[in-house]
């Protein structure tokens, strides 16, 4: 890719752009010298038996419009980027404009966020104004994965219940949004084999009182204690410290069918919750965390 970032391509783009504009100017100049003839040249194109196309020059007003666009293009290219790496006399860039808008937004919103500074997440969850702000943040940055109502979807946790992979306390929610989370379920297909995986799947289903093969579940329990209990606990109730889900609460991130559990155990799962600290900042994250906290604690809302 280094071939496409060398100075040659900047020069190439600049020359092609200017030559194209110059070619348009030459064409217009040649068209301007032609005069409308009383006996126009026939191109030989005829439609509907008598509709003939003649080769007349463009109208003057049309030619002047083209000249105006050429002048406009040259002025634009002198002021704004468009000729390779030339930044333009005004040094404008989309990144610079974005940063300027962000800075202006920060200044405009600073009094609002200052009003909420120093309040705890439960206190903010009980503040209607803070929740209105938090809802907008959630819809902008979280709803794509967790749904607009926080109900989640396959592979994305439901934020309206009290089943939390990493804990549902205010500080846990805040840490998840600030720093992100990475959940990894290693694959065990090659270790356990197809039959061993199926046995474990039946035992895992039995933990949620689902229909299972008792013999397979019995064998799967032994394998579970040897292989899975390190993360999920001997009773299968999970471990928030490592994000291992509770397998006994009938809450399933990917589904509870035998085929889905077999797929999970065989191939493993990897989930990533991106960090928002650098993007949103702590003030916004604090309000966003209060909104998420309120989704699973409706009693604290006013």
Domains of the chain: 2-79 (no CATH), 121-180+274-300 (1.10.760.10), 185-270 (1.10.760.10)
pLDDT, block means (10 residues), the chain with 302 residues: 69 92 91 65 78 80 93 95 90 91 90 90 95 96 96 94 94 96 95 97 96 96 96 96 93 95 96 93 94 93 68
- Between CA 113 and CA 283 the distance in angstroms is 6
Q: Which pLDDT value is given to residue 36?
A: 55
pLDDT of residue 130: 95
Write the CB contacts of 15 (distance below 8 Å, at least 6 apart in sequence): none
Angstrom distance (rounded) from CA 180 to CA 280: 12
Q: What is the CA radius of gyration of the chain?
A: 33
Judge contact between 88 and 14, C-beta under 8 A: no
Q: Give strand pairing partners of 182.
A: 272
Given this model, what pLDDT does residue 53 score?
Answer: 82
DSSP letter for each residue of 138-204: HHHHTHHHH-TTS--BTTB--SSSS--SS--SHHHHHHHHHH-EEEEE---HHHHHHHHHHHHHHHH
Q: CB under 8 Å, gap of 24 or more: what pairs does 147-152 form?
A: 150/292, 150/295
SS3 at position 40: coil
How far does the chain reach from its first CA to its final CA, in angstroms?
Answer: 57
| Alpha-helical regions (H) of the chain | 7-32, 60-79, 94-116, 121-125, 128-141, 143-146, 170-179, 189-206, 214-227, 229-232, 258-267, 277-296
pLDDT at position 40: 65
What pLDDT, on the 0 to 100 scale, is given for residue 57? Answer: 72
Can you give the pLDDT at residue 1? 46
């Amino acid at each position: 890719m280094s071939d496409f970032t060398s100075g040659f391509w900047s020069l190439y783009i600049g020359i092609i752009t200017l030559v194209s504009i110059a070619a348009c100017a030459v064409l217009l100049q040649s068209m301007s010298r032609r005069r409308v003839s009383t006996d126009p040249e026939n191109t030989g194109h005829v439609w509907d038996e008598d509709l003939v196309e003649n080769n007349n020059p463009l109208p003057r007003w049309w030619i002047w419009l083209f000249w105006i666009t050429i002048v406009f293009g040259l002025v634009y290219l002198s002021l704004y980027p468009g000729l390779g790496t030339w930044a333009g006399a005004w040094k404008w860039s989309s990144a610079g404009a974005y940063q300027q808008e962000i800075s202006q937004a920060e200044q405009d919103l600073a009094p609002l966020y200052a009003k909420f500074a120093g309040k705890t997440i439960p206190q903010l969850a009980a503040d209607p104004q803070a929740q209105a702000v938090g809802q907008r943040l959630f819809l902008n940055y979280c709803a794509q994965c967790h749904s607009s109502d926080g109900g989640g979807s396959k592979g994305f946790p439901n934020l309206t219940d009290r089943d939390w992979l990493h804990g549902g306390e205010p500080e846990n929610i805040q840490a998840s949004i600030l720093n992100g989370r990475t959940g990894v379920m290693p694959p065990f297909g090659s270790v356990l084999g197809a039959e061993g995986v199926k046995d474990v799947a039946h035992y895992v289903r039995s933990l949620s009182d689902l229909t299972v093969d008792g013999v397979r579940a019995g064998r799967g329990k032994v394998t579970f204690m040897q292989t899975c209990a390190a993360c999920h606990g001997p009773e299968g109730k999970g471990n928030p410290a490592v994000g291992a889900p509770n397998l006994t609460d009938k809450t399933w991130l990917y589904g509870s069918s035998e085929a889905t559990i077999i797929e999970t155990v065989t191939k493993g799962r990897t989930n990533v919750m991106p960090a928002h600290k650098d993007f949103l900042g702590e003030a916004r994250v604090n309000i966003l965390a209060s909104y998420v906290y309120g989704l699973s604690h409706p009693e604290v809302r006013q």
